């Protein structure tokens, strides 16, 4: 996955919709933009906020990201 792919998917979410993705896949999309895991997760959280989504890190070993579009 590329960062632009994630942007496209978040942009298409309607209020109340969710998107569940493997954390490793999403983090890899930001590897060229941020060198540490903390920086990548911060960038992902900023992107989620930009698209009015709540980001929840879930699953065993924090292995999944759940994006939930806010109800407007």
Q: How does pLDDT run across 20-38, given as a tens digit for each residue?
A: 999 999 999 888 878 898 9
How many CB atoms lie under 10 A from the CB of residue 8? Answer: 10
Q: Answer yes or no: is pLDDT of 58 > 80.
A: yes
pLDDT attached to residue 21: 96
**41-60 mean pLDDT:** 94
Which among 39, 38, 35, 44 is positioned nearest to 1, based on CA atoms? 44
- As a whole number, the mean pLDDT across the chain is 92
Q: pTM of the predicted model, to two decimals?
A: 0.89
């Amino acid at each position: 996955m590329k960062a632009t792919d994630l942007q496209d998917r978040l942009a298409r979410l309607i209020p109340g919709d969710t998107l569940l993705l493997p954390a490793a896949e999403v983090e890899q999309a930001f590897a060229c933009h941020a060198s540490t895991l903390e920086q990548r997760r911060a960038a992902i959280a900023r992107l989620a906020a930009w698209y009015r989504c709540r980001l929840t890190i879930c699953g065993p070993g924090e292995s999944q990201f759940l994006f939930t579009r806010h109800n407007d």
